[in-house]
Amino acid sequence: MNIVKTIRLTLAAALLTLGTLAASSAQAQAPLKIGYTSVEYVLSQMPESKQIESDLKAYNSQLEAQLKSKYGEYETKLKAYQQGAATMTDIVKADKEKELTGMQQSIQEFQRNAEQSLQQKQQTLLKPALDKLQKNIDAVAEENGYTYVLNSDGASPVLLHGPKDGDISDLVLKKMGVTPGANAVKQAPAPAPSVAPAPATNSKTKVKTKK
């Protein structure tokens, strides 16, 4: 799965889901002509997709590094607690357990926020490419007399069937100066940052967790 498929559910569905109205008042009186394009296909071949892929991976790596740092700190404190628990007073032990529980919760919250942040980063990076695609779809539709242009891909594609000559995807790419098939992104998308939730210790003295 490439970077375009990763963000397809959040962005591509919003683009052209109901079709792009590309007709002027004069065209509205002309015979109805409907075309379609694969937003996923066109985006994957735009030169911008490679840079988006690279930027997303770099951002994902930053998030993962922060998450691993937090998890490493937790493991260090957990190990120290396990080794010294037997000699701790009840007050100190309770304080350490509270601190470890708080760190567990902080790690889990960071994971959730990191995933949301990565999605927002995808949207920010993709917006210029989507705006460019929309502009060129409108131009191609007007030049070729298409009244509507539908999106042929997605989890629930608008187009269920259509003739090959109604596919304007390559026309849109050529309009942008892109040779169809020349710049397809083949790399897998950067995975969302993830570190397993802090595990419960197997020692006899365990960290108390809130229920």
Condensed to tens digits (0 to 9), the pLDDT of residues 166-197 reads: 888 999 999 999 888 766 554 434 444 544 44
Predicted local confidence at residue 12, as pLDDT: 44
Predicted local confidence at residue 157, as pLDDT: 66
pTM (predicted TM-score): 0.64
Domain ranges of the chain: 3-175
Q: 46 to each of 39, 52, 113, 115, 129, how far by Cα in Å? A: 11, 10, 30, 26, 8
Alpha-carbon span 162 to 178, nearest angstrom: 24
Condensed to tens digits (0 to 9), the pLDDT of residues 7-34 reads: 443 444 444 444 444 434 444 456 788 9
Q: 134-151: buried (b, 16+ CB within 10 Å) or exposed (e) per residue?
A: eebbbebbeeeebbbbbb
Predicted local confidence at residue 83, as pLDDT: 93
Predicted local confidence at residue 13, as pLDDT: 43
Tokens encoding 29: 């009186």
Alpha-carbon span 117 to 38, nearest angstrom: 27
Ranges in the chain, pLDDT < 70: 1-30, 155-157, 159-161, 182-211
Predicted local confidence at residue 206, as pLDDT: 42
Tokens encoding 137: 């779809």
Predicted local confidence at residue 187, as pLDDT: 40
Tokens encoding 196: 């397993």
Residue 191, φ and ψ in degrees, nearest 5: -70, 155
Residue in 56, 94, 80 with CA at minimum distance from that of residue 203: 80
Residue 120, φ and ψ in degrees, nearest 5: -65, -35
Name the amino acid, one letter, at 159: L
Q: At what angle do helices 90-144 and 48-84 cross, to 10 degrees?
A: 170
